[in-house]
Amino acid sequence: MFCFQCQETMRNSGCTFMGYCGKTEETANLQDILIYILKGVAIYAEKLKELGYSDRSTGRFIIRAMFSTITNANWDDRRFESLIREAMELRDNLKARFEEEHQKKHGSPFTGKLHDAATWKAFEEVEGSKIPELVGILSTENEDVRSLRELLTIGLKGIGAYADHAAVLGFEDDEIYDFIISALASTTRHLPAEEMVSLVMKAGEASVSTMALLDKAHTTTYGSPEISEVNLGVRDNPAILISGHDLKDMEELLEQTEGTGVDVYTHGEMLPANYYPAFKKYSHFVGNYGGSWWHQNQEFETFNGPILLTTNCLVPLKKFNTYLDRLYTTGMAGISGARHIPDSPDGGSKDFSEIIGQAKTLPSPQELETGTLVGGFAHNQVLTLADKVVDAVKSGAIKRFVVMAGCDGRNEEREYYTEVARKLPPDTVILTAGCAKFRYNKLPLGDIGGIPRILDAGQCNDSYSLAVIAMKLKEAFGLEDINDLPISYDIAWYEQKAVAVLLALLALGVKGIRLGPTLPAFLSPNVASVLVEKFNIKPIEDVDSDIAAMMSGS
């Protein structure tokens, strides 16, 4: 195997025998095969689009299949084998349709040569050890071409995940699907470096559009997040813990547990569900339990009740863990041994009766902490404070905003972000979204004239809010360039959604982003130098020097 899509890849180079995330060689090979077949699907979908034919279901399948390959989403090999067979069937159907449409339009059969991804058959007599060199990342020999292709593909995985979250709520955009298809197909062609870089930048634009669509899906369906105090304690009732990102699953679980005597708590990136008005009406929605995703081996153990994983951020169990028999997955998440709750075949609600039934038989959660934390500072809420914020900046009460969005992770180097938050001067405000906030969201940093010094916009899915806030502040101060704002970017990344957010920021023209704990391993030296030259992307250094540089605007 060879995988370098996440920040924790071995030696910041690539995992070659077992993923640091827990992914096995077999799973890695299946994911490589799936992405390869999806490229074949994209080839035919793109060609059919040129002939005037498109089918939204193709884009919908591609985003869901790509979502399944995101770090910490799925380790169930049977699910991947099923997805691969489904992808090959879809590809072959598109091939037949393309040949039919081509014959109609040109009066002759198609005789052109296509990339092997359009015809290659999985599960034939191919040794597993040969898979990486045949269809994996290393099948592209040129380092810079490989880097640009993988930067694009990894960004597409993040965009696809955000698009799937929106699609689940009935919000779709054919232009987003069309871009994902054409960009994925482009990775099978030999393109000039300039064109490949241009596609990466277009992926950033597509990421902005996708996150805007998801924001619309969330706020239209559940209302705009409100400033909220979230309970961190527990009650003496049986309960279900829900983690991941999917708010539709959250809604259906709350509906089905109402009146059953079973409480519901959020974990990890589901914390921001506590900020939405639509969920506050449920008296059995208690609050949040635990912290960041990587603590789940301990926190799922002490929760006692069943756990529902809705998306990525699932950690393989350790030898000491005993909660596999109360672990459930749904959506594109999966792990061997856990029970999977499928989508409803008729498009209705999922059936959570099994997990609810089990919850009734188990003890209430063991208390980890007490008190509350405050969040809900998405763009709509922050913009109601706009005059107050602008006045605080003009008066000098707020000297600088620091965007500390992104991911959390296990590396000790991530303590850097806690120390930055702790040491930032008292006239600074942190804007955050994503699980990176768990490094500092419980620090007693106080407020500036009633404005909390940590403004949590929500999930990584809600990073669009930070872009909207920046653009509105630019307007409020009458600035031409977003980089003239008193805002610095100190971003933590881990997986592919964060890469999509990074590309979105670059597409919006943001420069001078600090990125850590390490720069992505999939950036070759030459590609990294292009990003440094064009956008002044820089690695994090030590806390004190980075704070000094940010406060001086560099």
265-274 confidence digits (pLDDT tens): 999 999 999 9
What are the pLDDT digits (tens) for 307-321?
999 999 999 999 999
What are the pLDDT digits (tens) for 206-236?
999 999 999 999 999 999 999 999 999 999 9
Strand 451-452 relative to strand 447-448: parallel, antiparallel, unpaired? antiparallel
In the chain, what's the furthest Cα-to-Cα distance?
A: 73
CATH number at residue 302: 3.40.50.2030
CA 536, CA 413: separation in Å to the nearest integer?
22
Q: Within 10 A of 475 (CB to CB), how many other CB atoms are there?
A: 9
Helix-then-strand count for the chain, H and E: 17, 16
Predicted confidence band of residue 134 (pLDDT cuts 50, 70, 90): confident
- Flag whether 1 is in a domain: no
Provide the β-strand partners of residue 49. none
Provide the β-strand partners of residue 515. 491, 539
The answer to whether the beta carbons of residues 353 and 222 sit under 8 Å apart is: no
* Count, residues in the chain: 554
> Does 42 share its domain with 154?
yes
Please, where are the H alpha helices in 6-142?
25-50, 56-68, 77-106, 131-135
> Does 325 share its domain with 284?
yes
Q: What is the pLDDT of residue 346?
A: 83
State yes or no: pLDDT of 452 exceeds 70.
yes
- Flag whether 368 is in a domain: no
Listed in sequence order, the residues at least 6 apart from 368 whose beta carbon sits closer than 8 Å to its beta carbon are: 232, 234, 289, 290, 299, 302
Q: What is the pLDDT of residue 347?
A: 81
- Flag whether 375 is in a domain: no
What are the pLDDT digits (tens) for 421-444?
999 999 999 999 999 999 999 999
- Flag whether 96 is in a domain: yes
CATH number at residue 84: 1.20.1270.20
- Flag whether 313 is in a domain: yes
- Flag whether 98 is in a domain: yes
- Flag whether 370 is in a domain: no
Per mean pLDDT, which range of 118-122, 242-246, 491-495 is the poorest? 118-122
Q: What is the pLDDT of residue 127?
A: 61
Phi, psi angle pair for 254, to nearest 5°: -65, -40
Please, where are the H alpha helices in 192-290?
193-222, 247-257
> Does 487 share its domain with 442?
yes
Q: What is the pLDDT of residue 133?
A: 75
How crowded is the C-beta side of 170, counted as CA atoms within 13 Å? 5
Q: Within 10 A of 111 (CB to CB), how many other CB atoms are there?
A: 6
Which is it for the CA torsion 419, 422, 427, 430, positive or negative?
A: positive
**pLDDT, mean of residues 285-291:** 98
> Does 70 share its domain with 202?
yes
Q: What is the pLDDT of residue 119?
A: 93
> Does 179 share its domain with 312?
no
**pLDDT, mean of residues 502-510:** 96
> Does 510 share its domain with 415?
yes
* Amino acid, res. 79: R
* Amino acid, res. 22: G
Q: What is the pLDDT of residue 177?
A: 98
Q: What is the pLDDT of residue 131?
A: 76
- Flag whether 424 is in a domain: yes
* Domain housing 233: 228-343+351-359
> Does 244 share its domain with 276?
yes
Q: Choose the final residue of a domain: 221, 255, 287.
A: 221
> Does 66 share its domain with 20?
yes
CA distances, 184 to each of 48, 158, 208, 258 (Å): 15, 13, 18, 43
Q: If you average pLDDT over every residue of the chain, what do you get?
A: 96
What are the pLDDT digits (tens) for 149-163?
999 999 999 999 999
**pLDDT, mean of residues 104-119:** 94
> Does 333 share its domain with 390?
no
Closest CA to 76 of 349, 354, 328: 328
> Does 190 share its domain with 237?
no
State yes or no: pLDDT of 340 exceeds 70.
yes
- Kindly provide the residue ranges of all beta strands, DSSP E only, lying in 393-472, ordered along the sequence: 400-403, 428-432, 447-448, 451-452, 454-456
**pLDDT, mean of residues 394-406:** 96
Q: Provide the 8-state DSSP code for 478.
A: T
What are the pLDDT digits (tens) for 463-481?
999 999 999 999 999 999 9
CA 444, CA 466: separation in Å to the nearest integer?
22
Q: Choose the final residue of a domain: 221, 254, 287.
A: 221
- Distance, CA of 66 to chain centre: 12
> Does 53 share its domain with 158?
yes
CA 290, CA 266: separation in Å to the nearest integer?
8
State yes or no: pLDDT of 345 exceeds 90.
no
- Kindly provide the residue ranges of all beta strands, DSSP E only, lying in 367-421, ordered along the sequence: 372-375, 400-403
CA 476, CA 174: separation in Å to the nearest integer?
33
> Does 402 share its domain with 513?
yes
State yes or no: pLDDT of 128 exceeds 70.
no
Predicted confidence band of residue 125 (pLDDT cuts 50, 70, 90): low
Q: Choose the final residue of a domain: 325, 359, 393.
A: 359
Q: Please tell me the total count of domains within the chain.
A: 3
